[in-house]
Amino acid sequence: MSKILLVDDASFMRMMIKDALMKNGYSDLYEASDGVEAVSKYSEIKPDLVIMDITMPNMDGLDALKAIKKIDPNANVVMCSAMGQEAMVIDAIKSGARDFIVKPFKPERILKTVSSVLG
């Protein structure tokens, strides 16, 4: 079973993603509420996939993505962000993000991305 780390400062977003994944058979799920916690948890649990928000306190998602990629250049990270942040999307892809999901999104979009990244 794939380990998935969900990173968002909004607990309702983590819960929504977690709920969609659990309903579709993913159960090995972990959570972090900011980039600092995400990097720490990544080192600890070595997830197969990270789904991470860009805009967060303490350390944003782009800095966390770069830190995770230093730990593991093969890390699978999918970024999430609100509409209208095109420059951040480009920065995320250049920094190694595998995909990008624009909020608000439907659960199907998360599932499609997860299955395409994890195979």
State residue 65 phi and psi, 5-degree precision: -60, -45
Please check whether the domain covering 4-118 is classified as CATH 3.40.50.2300. Answer: yes
Residue 27: partners with Cβ closer than 8 Å, 6 or more residues away: 1
Q: What pLDDT is attached to residue 15?
A: 96
Tell whether pTM > 0.85: yes
pLDDT along the chain (119 residues), means of 10: 95 95 96 98 98 94 97 96 78 94 89 94
Which H or E run contains 5?
strand 4-7
Sketch the domain layout of the chain as residue ranges. 4-118
